Amino acid sequence: MSVLSPNTPTAELQRIDAAHHMHPFTHNQGLADKGARVITRANGCWLTDSNGNRMLDGMAGLWCVNVGYGRTELADAAHRQMLELPFYNTFFQTTHIPALALAQRLAELAPGDLNHVFFAGSGSEANDTNLRMVRTYWSEKGQPERQIIISRWNGYHGSTVGSGSLGGMKGMHEQGGMPIPGIHHINQPNWWLEGGDMTPEEFGLARARELEEAIEELGPDKVAAFIAEPIQGAGGVIIPPETYWPEIQRIVDKYGILLIADEVICAFGRTGNWFGSQTMGIRPHIMTIAKGLSSGYQPIGGSIVCDEVAEVIDATEFNHGYTYSGHPVACAVALENLRILDEEGIVTRVREETAPYLKERFETLTDHPMVGEAKIVGMMGSIALTPDKAARAPFASDAGTVGYLCRERCFNNNLVMRHVYDRMIISPPLIISREEIDTLIERAWQSLDETMAEAK
Ligand code: PLP
């Protein structure tokens, strides 16, 4: 076996990758022709690839590297924990200090009476936990017929069979027998694409009221929960109109169903508060967390659960858990990451300084002839690409072709942005500086110019 390193020629790394590595959410055959980009190292907000290019990471990895790359404190925390206790499980009445300390810290940070944490290895696993937990909750309360979970088309909750079913990605549902029974999807609050002649406020109310209509149609005694991301991330950073969430909260309260806020992207400073639910003014019974919990330095996720639900679940044996629930190394790293976010005032700085500056700069992109709207909350934003701003029209080419071109132009200009169909997304590390924000906007503008020339 050859020893591979960043000094191995890129073509050789790509050849091996294409021969043996099956990538997630990728047309793998295409990689054999083109070759994957090989990322070799990173620091702060910057990635380096095997050709020596330095790229500004406008996506914080996959929406997760909140404190930025290269934090030695996180490596040290992992090292210390590996020497002390690299693994022990939390099944069968055992625990360890990293898991209980992280659970305590999350209970302190989370709003209201969200005081209990069930750990998982990822956001997908955590949403599978939620699915089983809310159904078990209602069964234990003597209402076993309350099994249906309502979620949204174009929402994303993960890639396991359970979480992929909760999600509303039709392309995923087409493969592998999803959705599982008992999940009902309603429409998303995407005004730009689907709002027609309504004002954003009218549209926000109309889309929220689809929840009430669905509950009435399915039967109020059959619905267990509603799950949604405070701001849809993978669906294209869809920021709902201001009327949306207050109406959803009213409906959830009226029917007494559980509200699950999927905070996998929105939490840990991404929206300018510790949790997106605080930014959107909602009161969930359960929050799903992952990604920014460890800034992606270790795989870890979980569910933060309110007193009422935890009390009912704790009164029975919940036959559920993962080998890596509360993995000590992941917990130790997450704790250290939360310390950095807190003690360095990163969340506050996002809210008070960086996000307002980013918003000001990001919104100038609407001056570009190809940009219809630029929407941003905290450090997550998106622009809609369009050939006709007034009509909010999509491009005539296949949905996503122009977005794909634009993403490739961004890469060529050493900027990582993601596209979802013809929306371009940013979600940078929370430590991004004003100068780096300027660079991001300049490179985005240049990439838009080049895309426009190419798309004609
Ligand atoms: N929920 C949301 C809102 C996400 O954005 C994601 C991942 O992007 C997930 C769940 C799934 O998390 P993971 O990829 O860690 O399983």
Higher pLDDT, 304 or 393: 304
pLDDT 10s digits, 255-287: 999 999 999 999 999 999 999 999 999 999 999
Average pLDDT rounded to a whole number, residues 403-421: 97
Does the pLDDT value for residue 416 go beyond 70? Answer: yes
Average pLDDT rounded to a whole number, residues 18-36: 89
pLDDT recorded at residue 137: 98
Does the pLDDT value for residue 229 go beyond 70? Answer: yes
Could you report the predicted ipTM of this complex, rounded to two decimals?
A: 0.99
Q: Determine the residue of 63, 128, 157 to mutate for testing ligand 1's pocket, defined as the one with the most ligand atoms within 8 A of the Cβ atom.
A: 157
Which is the closest atom of ligand 1 to the Cα of 62? 8
Which is the closest atom of ligand 1 to the Cα of 229? 3
> Rounded distance, CA 98 to CA 103, Å?
9
List residues near ligand 1 (CB under 6 A). Answer: 122-124, 127, 156-158, 229, 233-234, 262, 264-265, 290, 301
Does the pLDDT value for residue 399 go beyond 80? Answer: no
CA 60 to chain CA mean position, Å: 11
Residue ID of nearest Cα to ligand 1 atom 12:
123
Average pLDDT rounded to a whole number, residues 6-12: 95
Amino acid symbol at 369: P
Question: What average pLDDT is seen over the chain?
Answer: 97
Average pLDDT rounded to a whole number, residues 6-25: 95
Distance 180 CA to ligand 1 centre (A): 18
Distance 124 CA to ligand 1 centre (A): 6
Which is the closest atom of ligand 1 to the Cα of 160? 16
Distance 265 CA to ligand 1 centre (A): 7
Distance 184 CA to ligand 1 centre (A): 19
pLDDT recorded at residue 153: 98
Burial pattern 394-428, b for ≥16 Cβ within 10 A else e, equals bbeeeebebbebbbebbbebebbbbbbbbbbbbbb
pLDDT recorded at residue 394: 87
pLDDT recorded at residue 1: 62
Number of Cβ within 10 Å of residue 299's Cβ equals 18
pLDDT 10s digits, 28-39: 888 878 899 999
- Per-residue pLDDT band at 158 (split at 50, 70, 90): very high
pLDDT 10s digits, 160-208: 999 999 999 999 999 999 999 999 999 999 999 999 999 999 999 999 9
Distance 159 CA to ligand 1 centre (A): 8
- Per-residue pLDDT band at 433 (split at 50, 70, 90): very high
